[in-house]
Amino acid sequence: MAACKELTANLVHDFISSVDTILCDCDGVIWKNNDSIPGAAEALKKLRLKGKRIFFVTNNSTKSRKQYIEKLLNLGFEAYPEEIICTAFAAASYLKHSLKLNGKVYLIGSIGMAEELDLMGIPYFGIGPDPVKSLDMAEWAALPIDNEVKAVLVGFDEHLSYIKLIKAGTYLNDPECAFVATNEDLRYPLGGKIMIPGTGVIVGAVKQAAQREPVVLGKPSKYLFDSIMQSFEGVTPERTVMIGDRLSTDISMGRTCGLKTLLVETGIDTRVDAKENQKSNSIERQKMVPDYFITSLADLGKTL
């Protein structure tokens, strides 16, 4: 069982000395929407000065690595392309290197995902609006189908439509057609009165249409950490910490991979949520308990 203790100033030094690699979630940890979280950049800078290797590990599939670098630099963070572990890149990499895909991708996704597929030289189509034009089912039944599609890739798509669900479900009727999803986060953490459905809602719709389960690459899946270990020498679970604001993704992935885990309270979840999970008898909820929690990255930075 994870300790779920506050990372107080007297514990920071030993904790930081016990890791070489830092996996840092983005939304709710280093930024909120388009604003950086105060003190986050300084904290990461101090960790770099102590020789720590940093990776930005995010489920959000709307941006490519290039777009993430631009955002990080604009918000005053130091960052390098190889440090960006985002699901748009992971998806293209998975299709190319793990599946060795020989065919086209039907993409329900973003421009950022398309950019990563282009960089890997993977042919795809499906991006952008594809609205229903009539209520005539005979027209739907006559939709053109491309026999070269060998995978359906699903991420965040602001143009999700009924026609896209018909197409994705049809391609996935072929058991040889791969089904890959970037992540299953159900809501965007924007706050306020409006609820913004996340990629998980889109993946859920495709799953129901296809009557199949996808390979999911984002947290809490192990895929992102496994791919870091494969690509970078010297990264070990014992000497890596996952810092995140969401218990069900960041902390759960960290626990599943055998990493140290630190919850920051600048995003979705708080110590109260973590303690509630700790009290539960459910194995799933026990995975959503961090080793430590701290108010913010800024608080960590102050003691370094």
> Which residues make up the interface to Mg ion (CB under 5 A)?
25, 27-28, 245-246, 267
Give min distance, CB of 244 to Mg ion, in A.
6
Give the nearer residue to Mg ion in terms of CB position, either 86 or 152: 86
Give the nearer residue to Mg ion in terms of CB position, either 28 or 126: 28
Give min distance, CB of 60 to Mg ion, in A.
8
**Radius of gyration of the chain from Cα atoms?**
20
Q: Are 117 and 124 in contact (CB under 8 A)?
A: yes
Identify the active-site residue in 27, 157, 245, 299. Answer: 27
Q: Can you tell me which residue has the tokens 């608080």?
A: 299
Give min distance, CB of 10 to Mg ion, in A.
27
Active site residue 136: no
Give the nearer residue to Mg ion in terms of CB position, either 246 or 260: 246
Active site residue 25: yes
Give the nearer residue to Mg ion in terms of CB position, either 33 or 281: 33
Give min distance, CB of 185 to Mg ion, in A.
9
Residues known to be catalytic: 25, 27
